[in-house]
Amino acid sequence: MPPTPPTPVPPSTERPDTRHPELDRYASEALVHAFVDDQFEAVRAVQAAAPALARAVEAALPRIQAGGRLLYVGAGTSGRLGLLDSVELYPTFSWPPERAKALLAGGPPALYRAVEGAEDDADMGARDLHSLKPTPQDVVLCIAASGATPYVMGALHAAKAIGSLTLGFANNEGAPVAEQADVGVTLNTGPEVISGSTRLKAGTAQKIALNTFSSSLMVKLHKVYGNLMVDVKATNAKLRRRSVALTVTATGRSEAEATAAVDAADGSVKCAILMLRHGLDAHSAAQALARVDGSLRKALGE
């Protein structure tokens, strides 16, 4: 009689959390504490992955400086988090939307509800990536809590064949998406309070990791002066007020002077700061920034 094959060991994100076998019996306060306290594991997982995130930033920087794009790929929660990170780069850093694209298994309808079978289609992942016409300068962020989602793996293999830089984000050790990417980022968050619900701390860890990666990259690209987000795009009244406040902070000038400078610079905080600090007009300030790849610190001679 042939031996019985071993039972496959589920990934850690799919295993029941042994700390909470009676979760459905908890009083409300204990229930809330169970969810909130477990989120600290997400922070610890990203802290452990910090060296890998730093490698990802260093590997991505020259490609992006050469004109490459950030292309995010994911399914379900992972895909929605990738999309969120991509769209927030424009208002925060004036990063061109055409240089931050996100692919979600199942397309736009999957933003609101699961599209049956979409995440299991590796060929679709490859096709969707090819639709963006990737180049070797592009950076492809492949995000999967399990680390083996076929849609994401299909996009990963297609990106590697083209020569794009691939970054693999997973929440399980030894996951294919992290091991086969050029730089793997493993966010080992372990079992969820609700077994398998990776929208919980696994999703939180992904959000932190993606924020950390993209924000670090933007700092390296001179989108920040000190710790001021001086490339903010004032797309609403709140961000317009922030633009003026940033200019006041960086120059020590009055709100009225800062407002006038921001208006004259067509909303550019960098130009407004340079105008007030060096007595330049808006055109001259823009030219000075262009000569130093947008580095306000260099334009100020610091």
Q: For residue range 148-192, what is the model confidence (pLDDT) as tens digits?
A: 999 999 999 999 999 999 999 999 999 999 999 999 999 999 999
Residue 292 and residue 151 share a domain: no
What local confidence, expressed as pLDDT, does residue 57 receive?
A: 98
Q: What is the dihedral of CA 242, 247, 253, 255, to 10 degrees?
A: -30
Number of domains in the chain: 2
- Measured between alpha carbons, how far is residue 228 from residues 57, 98, 170, 213, 223 in Å? 20, 24, 31, 18, 9
Tell me which of 173, 192, 220 is where a domain ends: 220
For residue 12, what are the contacts with CB-CB under 8 A and spacing of at least 6? 171, 172, 173, 188, 189, 190, 191
DSSP label at residue 8: P
Cβ 244 vs Cβ 258: under 8 Å: yes
Q: What is the dihedral of CA 159, 162, 166, 169, to 10 degrees?
A: 10
Tell me which of 192, 220, 248 is where a domain ends: 220
Residue 63 and residue 179 share a domain: yes
Q: For residue range 256-291, what is the model confidence (pLDDT) as tens digits?
A: 999 999 999 999 999 999 999 999 999 999 999 999
Tell me, yes or no, if 119 is annotated catalytic.
yes
Distance in Å from the first CA to the final CA of the chain: 78
Q: pTM of the entire structure?
A: 0.94
Q: Flag whether 94 is in a domain.
A: yes
Write out the chain's pLDDT in tens, 302 residues.
Answer: 566 665 567 889 999 999 999 999 999 999 999 999 999 999 999 999 999 999 999 999 999 999 999 999 999 999 999 999 999 999 999 999 999 999 999 999 999 988 878 999 999 999 999 999 999 999 999 999 999 999 999 999 999 999 999 999 999 999 999 999 999 999 999 999 999 999 999 999 999 999 999 999 999 999 999 999 999 988 899 989 999 999 999 999 999 999 999 999 999 999 999 999 999 999 999 999 999 999 999 999 99
For 165, counting Cβ atoms within 10 Å of its Cβ (0-12 exposed, 13-18 middle, 19+ buried), the class is: buried
The active-site residue, picked from 14, 29, 58, 88, is 88
The active-site residue, picked from 119, 173, 179, 257, is 119
Tell me, yes or no, if 22 is annotated catalytic.
no
| Structural domain boundaries, residue 274 | 237-299
